[in-house]
């Protein structure tokens, strides 16, 4: 008789354990219902730093004459920059590059001038508006015989934005909110409730020109990826 009782108790225990495991399995299965969404945040900002390479060329057949001319024009160019609010610390000078046209073996063209001197003076400033305004005054230097060279793609204005850390927290918050709004809409459409976050990944921030015509206007972008649990 005691063995029968033991068998009954054992059977009840097994049934109870089975029911518990079934409930646990169903609960786990429900918890694994998730929705994956992305949240976007974008900002249009002004560049806060500019590098402006100022390039001009000097042609001639006498190196000493070219040297004197470059010295005179450099002095005039530096004065022009300082008179228009550019600080000495914002100006850098590269060594003058001299090309001997007769020494270029691949060049069989007959040239009027033997030497071509390329002069580069660079302005690097946080005051983008001031520098852009000054770019519009380049014509004033023509009166002093200084004609800027715009054909060399190695020397182009470069605009950058360095204030990312100031706007990063707000952008991440906005991206996460947008992701949650999308997830809530999905949950509502599927007659579910939005649960807790299962996983979240923050994408890398990207900074690029808003368009090719306004490189001094930047577009900052970040995308976050979030998985939410769905509940009945």
pLDDT at 91 over 70: yes
Segment 78-84 shows an average pLDDT of 94
Q: What is the pLDDT of residue 107?
A: 54
41-55 pLDDT per residue, tens = 999 999 999 999 999
More confident residue, 106 or 182: 182
Instruction: Identify the pLDDT of residue 138.
Output: 84
Q: Is the pLDDT of residue 75 over 90?
A: yes
**What DSSP line would sit under 54-111, residue for residue?**
EEEEEEES-HHHHHHHHHHHHHHHHHHHHHTT--GGGEEEPPPEEEEGGG-TT--S--
Nearest to 87 by CA among 156, 134, 149: 134
Residue 230: CB partners within 8 Å, gap ≥ 6? 33, 34, 35, 187, 190, 192, 193, 194, 195
The answer to whether 226 and 203 have CB atoms below 8 angstroms apart is no
Q: What is the biggest distance separating any 2 CA atoms in the chain, rounded to whole angstroms?
A: 124
pLDDT band at 22 (very low <50, low <70, confident <90, very high): very low
Residue 17 in this model has a pLDDT that exceeds 50: no
How high is the pLDDT of residue 141?
85
Residue 201: pLDDT above 80? yes
Which of 58, 53, 50 has the alpha carbon at shortest distance from 155?
A: 53
Q: In this structure, what are the phi and psi dihedrals at residue 211, rounded to the nearest 5 degrees?
A: -160, 170
Number of neighbouring beta carbons within 10 Å of residue 39: 24
pLDDT surpassing 80 at residue 181: yes
* Cα 220 → chain centroid: 7
What pLDDT score does 20 carry?
Answer: 45
Q: Count of residues for the chain? A: 232
Question: Are the CB atoms for 207 and 219 separated by under 8 Å?
Answer: yes
């Amino acid at each position: 008789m005691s063995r029968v009782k033991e068998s009954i108790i054992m059977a009840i225990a097994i049934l109870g354990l089975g029911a518990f495991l079934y409930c646990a399995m169903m609960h786990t299965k429900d918890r694994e219902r998730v929705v994956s969404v992305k949240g976007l945040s974008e900002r249009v900002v002004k560049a806060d730093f500019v590098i402006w390479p100022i390039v001009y060329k000097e042609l001639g057949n006498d190196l000493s004459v070219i040297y004197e001319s470059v010295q005179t024009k450099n002095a005039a160019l530096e004065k022009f920059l300082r008179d228009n609010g550019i600080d000495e610390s914002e100006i850098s000078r590269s060594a003058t590059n001299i090309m001997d046209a007769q020494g270029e073996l691949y060049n069989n063209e007959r040239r009027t001038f033997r030497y071509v001197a390329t002069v580069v003076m660079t302005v690097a400033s946080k005051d983008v508006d001031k520098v852009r305004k000054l770019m519009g005054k380049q014509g004033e230097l023509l009166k002093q015989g200084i004609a800027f060279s715009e054909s060399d793609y190695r020397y182009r204005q470069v605009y950058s934005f360095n204030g990312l850390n100031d706007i990063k927290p707000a952008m991440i918050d906005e991206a996460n909110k947008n992701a949650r709004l999308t997830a809530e809409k999905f949950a509502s459409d599927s007659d579910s409730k939005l649960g807790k976050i299962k996983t979240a990944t923050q994408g890398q921030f990207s900074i690029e020109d808003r368009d090719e015509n306004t490189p001094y206007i930047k577009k900052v972008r970040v995308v976050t990826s979030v998985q939410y649990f769905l509940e009945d």
